[in-house]
Amino acid sequence: MDGDEPVLETEDNSNNKPKEVIQKDTGAKEENFYRCQLTDPDCEYIQSQYGLEKGDFPTEQLVTQSTDMKRVIFISKELSRFLHADEDKHELKIINLGCTVFHRNMSKKSSNMECIYRVSQDGLRFLMPWLKRRIVYTKDLDSFKRCIMYRYHALGVEDDTCQIPDETFCQEMKDFTPGCFIVIF
């Protein structure tokens, strides 16, 4: 080793404000990574929409590949610390990292909806310990199957013709504002 490799930090610096740019390569636009800023309106929206409590949810482990946050990626605590150690030198060549947890809702049908970010199914297992809102539970297999097989509007949730056998489940879905929610069987 040449002695110039990044040093892995051993103390917890998660309370320090992270630098915005993790990797900046002027030659390759798609390989830039940025930390999601805690004060960013999109980051605040995600926290409030899905009940990710400030101070409890590790927001310092969220990164994005573009400044408009089209895709929000969750990285491990250890990787986040390692990237902190390299943030001044930028010697790492990062191709890909982490697991996508949120996608910006770019659907043509959703232009008037409140749901700015959708939860990515791949990243759901990383979010579950912290999610407090937008979750519906059911023990009825038929209700779960209908929810998966048919679109939300075809289930009649918006009016009084709800075609889901589990009434509690149907009522919880009615109480949600339009947007992404998680169904757990």
Domain definitions of the chain by residue range: 21-127, 135-184
Q: What is the pTM of this model?
A: 0.76
User: H or E segment at 83?
Assistant: helix 77-85
Tokens of 141: 């297999």
As a whole number, mean pLDDT of residues 2-11 equals: 45
Q: What are phi and psi of 31, to 5 degrees?
A: -105, 15
> In the structure, what pLDDT confidence band is assigned to residue 28 with cuts at 50, 70 and 90?
low
- In angstroms, the CA 83 to CA 98 distance is 12
Give residue for tokens 């010697």: 91
Distance CA 64, CA 98 (A): 10
User: Among 4-13, 54-63, 85-94, whose mean pLDDT is lowest?
Assistant: 4-13
Instruction: Return the higher-pLDDT residue of 17 and 173.
Output: 173
pLDDT band, very low/low/confident/very high, at 20 (cuts 50, 70, 90) = low
Query: Hey, what are 60's tokens?
Result: 């310092």
